[in-house]
Amino acid sequence: MGKQYDIQTKNWLDKTSATGVTQPTTAALASKYDLDHAHHSWVTQCDKDATGNCRMDGAAKVQCKGITCPVRAPLAYVDNSTGILNPYLHLATQYGWANAMFQTNQGPSFPAHQFIFGGTSAPSLADDHAGTFAAENMNGKGSGAGCIASSTRFVQLITANGAETSSNRIFPCFDHNTVADLLQPRSITWKYYSAGANSIWTAPNAIQHLCMASGTACAGADWKANVDLNPAHVFDRHRKLQSAPSHLGYAYRAKLRSCGHQHRRRPLLGCFHC
């Protein structure tokens, strides 16, 4: 059985309520709907006051997309009485991820995974210093992500003052150091598990010195050695751990479950591990 994680489960701030608060409902971890999480939805949820501080009462205005969106879908949380969230909580408590503050990224999956892997979604070191970041997922005609996307694809940038303009869009291929560049000189091995080279969740595909794009494929030595696009064998390793000490098996199972993509179940922490 599980233990409820440390979140507020009543009286959520709600600007659409006459009382200013609402009682959240519970939701399944996996579902066929999704809350919009583009940057503008972050701004909506923030609901800045005249001094520029977030009132944090705008979640009810965030749109729900997909199949069978429930009423007031943003105002819900996943109950952990069955322990379904324990693998995620294990990762969060054992690997030092903070959950009591805003992340720098204020947008969807592509920039989020760039932050996980490289500490920034800026295209370059200079852009990072200037506060210019990739703000959204890929757009434009064609398909793919990162350096191996179709040439007609682009990513929207956001400036330090929060501006997103049509003139500030670029091809989604960046180059700057990542966590891999810190590990390799110290002879620390790493793997990035992903089910597809062209996914917006596969952060290394947007880092040119790792991807080394050749047409529609990454051909770099680091990519070939460290980006695992067929992680089924990882589950074979997992099965061998069933007879291992419980703390070892559990830690490994937690990592595997964090990479589950059933329906809209996203990896909360990405699928990078060293």
Same domain, 91 and 68: no
Residue 3 lies in a domain: no
Residue 6 lies in a domain: no
Among 18, 17, 20, 4, smallest CA distance to 72 is for 17
In whole angstroms, what is the distance from residue 108 CA to residue 188 CA? 30
Tell me: do 127 and 160 sit in the same domain. yes
**CA 9 to chain centroid:** 23
Do 145 and 21 fall into the same domain?
no
Local mean pLDDT, 10-residue blocks, the chain (274 residues): 74 96 93 91 93 94 92 92 87 64 79 93 96 95 95 96 93 96 93 91 97 96 94 57 34 33 33 36
Q: Are residues 262 and 188 in the same domain?
A: yes
The domain total for the chain is 3
User: In this predicted structure, what is the pLDDT of residue 142?
Assistant: 94
Q: Within 10 Å of residue 86's Cβ, how many Cβ atoms?
A: 18
Residue 149, domain extent: 119-170
Whole-prediction pTM value?
A: 0.78
Are 66 and 152 members of one domain?
no
Q: Which pLDDT tens digit goes with each residue over 155-178?
A: 999 999 899 999 999 999 999 999
Shared domain check, 186 and 166 = no
Please report whether residue 107 resides in a domain.
Answer: no
Whether residues 162 and 188 fall in one domain: no
Q: Are residues 96 and 226 in the same domain?
A: yes
CB 11, CB 28: distance < 8 Å: no
Same domain as 187, residue 149: no
